A and B are shown apart, each in its own frame.
Chain A
C-alpha cells in the first residue's frame, strides 16, 4: 500500500470508531427508563426489518469472510463457488427453520438467552444449566479467536501508516522485558489494545441495541465495499469473460528455495523486503517469500522463493528495481500436491493445492460444506438470540428476503472479485491473507481514487467487530442472566443487575484480551472447533423441542451431551491419529455431521414413548 492509501485507511478507521461509539451512546439513551435485563441483552424484542436482517447477516460474516475467504479464492480459484454454494440457502435455513418457533417461545416465556429458552421449553433447571455451561465453554474459545483476528486485520491494514509505526515503536519500548506481554509483537499488542478497548466499551455501554445498530452500520459498509470493489476490479481486468479466459491458462506457482546473489558487495547491511520480485538465472521470475538481510560485504543468501510458472505472467512481471543488481537461482520443492504444471486448475474443481494430492475440494468435502454452512448457521446460539428479538412473522418474512439478496451480493461477488484478483496481483501466495487490502489499494490507485481504499478496508474491520460484540454479549448474558439472576440472586435489583452487566462484559472482554496477548497456536482451528461444537450440541435438541411435543428434558440433555461427546471424541481421535488440533474426518465428512446425527438420535430415542406436552407453557 502507498502512503495515501494507508492514511485513508487510518482516517476511515477513526471515523468508523467514532460512529460506533456514537451509536453506543445513543443506544444507552434509548435504554434509560426501560426494564434493564430484557433491554440490555435483547433490545426489548423490538427489532424491525433492517435491524434484524443486517444484525443476522453481519454477525454471521466474521473476519473470515473478508480475509480468509478471499485468500482461499485467490489460492484455489473458481472451485470456491462450489465450496460456498450452500450460502444460497443459509437465509432460509438459518432463519426459517427455527425463527417463528424460537421467537414465539421466547416471547411467551420471557426468555432472554438461549439457555433461558431451553429451560422454558423443557421446564428443567438442569437442562438450562447444561446449556449455560456449553455456551460459556464454546463461546470463550470463539471470543479468543475473533479478538486475535481483529487485531491481525488491524496490523495488516495499518502497517504502512507512519504515525502507526511510531506508536508501535513506543509500545515496543514500553513492553520490552515485561512478563507475558513482552514476548508478543508490539504491533499486535497495540492493535489488540485498541481493538479490544473499542469493542469492550461500546458493547458494555450500549448492550444488545448498540451491538445491533453497529451491526447495521457494519453490514452496510460490507455490502457497499463489495459492490464498489466488484466494479473497479471487473473494469480493470477487461470483464469477467476475459478474466476467466486468462485463468484457464494459469498454472500454480512453485514454492522452493533459492540463492539470492547481489552483483557486488555493499558497504552496509542490505534488506530485501518480502514480496520483492527477482529475475532468475533461467530468465524466469520469482518472488521473495520472506524478508532477507545481507550483512555488509555479503553477496549470497539463501531464501524462500515463489516461482511464477505461467508464461504470460513471466513476460509481464518486471523485477523490483534496486540500486544494485540482484539475481536468484531457484530450486523447487518436491511437488506432492495437486495441480502443479497443469493448466485449467483455477477454473475447475477440485482446485490446486500445494500439499493435498486430491486437490482443495473433493466431492465428499463439498457435500460436507454444503451441509455445514446451512445447518451450522441454524445451530449457532448467537443467531438464535437474534431470532428471539424480532417483532413478528412479518419482520422475519422480509428479513429472510433481505438477507438472501445480501448474501448473494457478498459471497457470490467475492468469488468473482478474488478470481479476478489473480490477474491483477500475481504471486500473492507469499502472503495471501493480505489479498483484500492489496487489491483495494491496487484498484483504487489505478482508478485514480486512492482515498476510496479506506472505505473498502473498513469492511474487514466491520466483519470482525460485528461478530466479536455479539459473542461478548452472549458470554456476559450467560453469567448475569443464566447464572446470577436465575440461580444466585433471583430478586436482584435493576441497579445491581445493571452494574453487574457492565462489569461482567468488561471483565470477560479484558480476560479474553489478556489471554490472546500471547496467542496460542491453532486459533483458526479453535473457530471451527467452537462453531461446529455449538451447532452439534444445540441444533437438534432445540429443533426437536420446538417441533415435537414428546421431546423431554432427559432427551434434550442426552442430545446436548451426546453431541458434545461425539464432537470431543472426534477431536481427541484427530489429535491422537494426526498429532494436531483437528477433528478426525470419519468417512471424510465434517465432524459436525456426526455430532448432529448422534445428538438427534439420542434426543429422539430417550424421549420416545413419553406423553405429549405443551411446547409453549412455561416461564423460565
Chain B
C-alpha cells in the first residue's frame, strides 16, 4: 500500500467515525424531542401548562434544553472530534 492510499484509508476511516457520530447525535435528539414532546406537549388544558423561564414547560424540556445540548455537542464535536485529513495542509 503506497503512502497516498494509506492516507486515504485512514482519512476514510476517520470520516466514517465522524459520520456515524453525527447520525447518532441526530437519532438521540430525535428520540428525545419527539418522545418528550409527544408525551408531555399534546392536548393540554391551560392549567396543565406551567412555564420555565417563560417557555411552556414541554417546550423548555422538549426543545430548548436538547437544542442547548445539541449546541454543546456540536462544540465538542468540532473542537475535539472533527480531525483534519492526514495529508491536509494546515490553513489558518
Which residues of A are in contact with B by a Cβ distance under 8 Å?
78-79, 81-82, 85-86, 88-89, 91-93, 96-97, 100-101, 104, 239-245, 248-249, 343-344, 347-350, 363, 366-367, 370-371, 374, 391-398, 400-401, 404-405, 408, 412, 546-547, 549, 614-616
Contact = CB atoms under 8 A, between A and B. Distances in A.
A92 B22 contact: yes
Contacts of A547: 12, 15-16, 19
Contact of A397 (B15, B38, B79): B79
Q: How large is the interface on B (under 10, 10 to 19, 20 to 34, 35 or more residues)?
A: 35 or more
Given A366-B37, A367-B30, A400 B22 contact: no
Contacts of A549: 12
Contacts of A88: 29, 66-67, 70-71
A344 B19 contact: no
A343 B84 contact: no
Interface string B36-49: 01100111111011
Interface string B64-92: 10110011011101110011110011111
A89 B70 contact: yes
A-B CB proximity, top 3 nearest: A240-B54, A392-B91, A348-B44
Interface of B: 5, 8, 11-12, 15-16, 18-19, 22, 25-26, 29-30, 33-34, 37-38, 41-46, 48-49, 51, 53-56, 58-59, 62-64, 66-67, 70-71, 73-75, 77-79, 82-85, 88-92
Given A97-B19, A347-B46, A397-B79, A91 B74 contact: yes
B78 A398 contact: yes
Nearest to A397: B78
Contact of A97 (B22, B29, B53, B85): B22
A398 B91 CA distance: 12
5 contacts: A81-B55, A249-B46, A344-B45, A349-B58, A394-B84
B62 A82 contact: yes
A485 to B, nearest CB: 28
Nearest to B20: A547
Which of B34, B51, B59, B88: most chain A Cβ within 10 A?
A: B59
B58 A392 contact: no
Main secondary structure of the interface of B (DSSP, over half): helix
Which of B42, B45, B51: most chain A Cβ within 10 A?
A: B42
Given A100-B85, A615-B12, 12 more contacts: A81-B64, A89-B70, A92-B70, A100-B18, A239-B54, A240-B54, A241-B51, A241-B53, A344-B48, A392-B89, A393-B91, A408-B67
B15 A100 contact: yes
A244 B54 contact: yes
B37 to A, nearest CB: 5
Given A78-B56, A97-B22, A243-B54, A393 B82 contact: yes
Given A88-B66, A347-B44, A392 B77 contact: no
A395 B91 CA distance: 8
Contacts of B42: 348-350, 363
A97 B30 CA distance: 17
Contacts of B18: 96, 100
Given A344-B49, A392-B90, A397 B37 contact: no
A395 B92 CA distance: 8
A97 B91 CA distance: 21
B22 A85 contact: no
B46 A248 contact: yes
B85 A393 contact: yes
A249 B46 CA distance: 7
A93 B78 contact: no
Contacts of B59: 78, 81-82
Contacts of A101: 15
Contacts of A81: 55, 59, 63-64
A88 B18 CA distance: 18
A347 B42 CA distance: 10
Contacts of B83: 393
A532 to B, nearest CB: 18
Contact of B84 (A86, A347, A392): A392
Nearest to B78: A397
Contacts of A347: 44, 46, 49, 56
Contacts of A350: 42-43
A25 to B, nearest CB: 28
B56 A348 contact: yes
A245 B51 contact: yes
B46 to A, nearest CB: 4
A347 B50 CA distance: 10
A547 B42 CA distance: 40
A362 to B, nearest CB: 9
B82 to A, nearest CB: 5
A188 B44 CA distance: 43
Contacts of B85: 100, 104, 393
Nearest to A107: B88
A241 B58 CA distance: 14
B44 A82 contact: no
Contacts of B46: 248-249, 343-344, 347
Nearest to A343: B46
